[in-house]
Chains A and B, each alone.
Chain A
Amino acid sequence: MMTAREALEVLAAHRGKRVVVTTMSAAGVWPALSDTSLDFAYLPSSMGQGPSLALGLALACPKPGVIVVNGDGCTLMNAGCLATLASNPADIWLIIFDNGHYEVTGGQPTAGSGHTDFAALARGAGIARVYTFPDRATWTAGAGEALGGIGPVVIWLQIEARMGQATPAPPRPMAEQIARLRQALGV
């Protein structure tokens, strides 16, 4: 296991110049590590649509690539996104933060808690590059490879649950986030 912050610290060291889309609890931690024009907190969101939005970004702007940090509950809610990522190749990295719980609703278990194999789901959906990191040491050692090359890539991380987390607030209004991301992408 690793904390969300530990996992994101490793990501911050390896994200390069790629867009980073964060959802749910990760969106509350990430701005303290990176708050550039290429960081997009998907808040307010439609639960489960983070990978979809990130895929659209990656298809529209093949460079510099898009990393999306998604929860396990979010991924389960839109599990078809794995097949969609496989069907529409783009440089996109889907990082699944698996803590087995819905953090922002009080810590209830998800339907997949403790038994759903997200790596198997991703492979079964047709994604060739799939990585699993159960703790900070393995994630630190493997992040360079996992976050290199071309997408689509799915990275499954085991994250410590934090019960009773409030829904994070976006670092700035959505219109401002969109405007500065578009400016950074040159669109």
Chain B
Amino acid sequence: MSGNPTARAVPQATDPSSGTVSLFDGPAVASALRLAGVTHVVWVPDSALGRWDAALSTTPGLTLVRVCREGEAIGVAAGLHIGGARPLVMMQCTGLFEAGDSLRNAVHDLKLPLFFLIGVRSWYAHKEGRTCDTCPVFTEPILRAWNIPYTVIDPKQHSAADMMACYNAARASGNAAAALLAE
């Protein structure tokens, strides 16, 4: 990722030696979201993110907004942000590919500092040369094209708290950003 202005290192919210790095299940994610002040998750789930559904939909203070497509998720998040809420958009990278115009409008026309958690299908398999799935090939270039800074989150090494450290860093910067969740 060196020399790439949009790819960032993971902020160190978790000590890998602390034994908490495996905490990336639904309750851990929901708890981290609430701790960071997120009020709404707007999403179209994939098979990895979808495991968090029960926790996201039952955590007090957190509202799960189910939409039909990812561009719509960004539009809803834009309205939530303008209305004073603190939304986070969750989707698979295929949804990112679908949602380009909505992302362009919300981030670059309306200049809203939205945060996206994007599951990257076949990330591990691609790294190991075990797949012909093109999702991992295009996700990072697409984010660079849209000028969205991002951080890669590896659930085998990072925790939900690490993901929210990325969120908090983005909030502090006042800019839109993304976390890519290796799948």
Contact = CB atoms under 8 A, between A and B. Distances in A.
Contact of B80 (A59, A84, A87, A181): A59
A19 to B, nearest CB: 9
Given A45-B109, A56-B87, A81-B72, 16 more contacts: A46-B102, A49-B72, A49-B75, A52-B73, A52-B74, A52-B79, A56-B42, A56-B75, A56-B77, A59-B40, A59-B63, A60-B82, A60-B84, A83-B68, A84-B72, A178-B110
B157 interface: no
B13 interface: no
Contacts of A88: 65-66
Nearest to A68: B79
Contacts of A45: 105, 109
B88 to A, nearest CB: 13
A44 B66 contact: no
B67 interface: yes
B51 interface: no
A88 to B, nearest CB: 6
Which interface class (under 10, 10 to 19, 20 to 34, 35 or more) fits B? 20 to 34
Interface of B: 39-40, 42, 63, 65-69, 71-85, 87, 101-102, 104-106, 109-111
Contacts of A83: 68
A84 B82 contact: no
Most chain B beta-carbon neighbours within 10 Å: one of A47, A51, A53, A182: A53
A182 B80 CA distance: 11
Q: Which of A50, A56, A60, A182 has the most CB of B within 10 A?
A: A56
A105 B139 CA distance: 32
A46 B82 contact: no
Given A80-B72, A87-B66, A53 B111 contact: no
Contacts of B71: 46, 48-49, 52, 78
Nearest to A44: B109
Query: Size class of A's contact patch?
Result: 20 to 34
Contacts of B79: 52-60
A10 interface: no
Contact of A56 (B66, B78, B101): B78
Contacts of A56: 42, 75-83, 85, 87
Contacts of A53: 75-76, 78-79, 82
Contacts of A47: 101
A178 B109 contact: no
Contacts of B105: 44-46, 49
A161 interface: no
Nearest to B68: A80
A84 B66 contact: yes
Given A45-B105, A87-B66, A52 B76 contact: yes
A116 B84 CA distance: 36
Interface in A68-93: 78, 80-81, 83-84, 87-88
Nearest to B100: A46
A99 to B, nearest CB: 23
B52 to A, nearest CB: 18
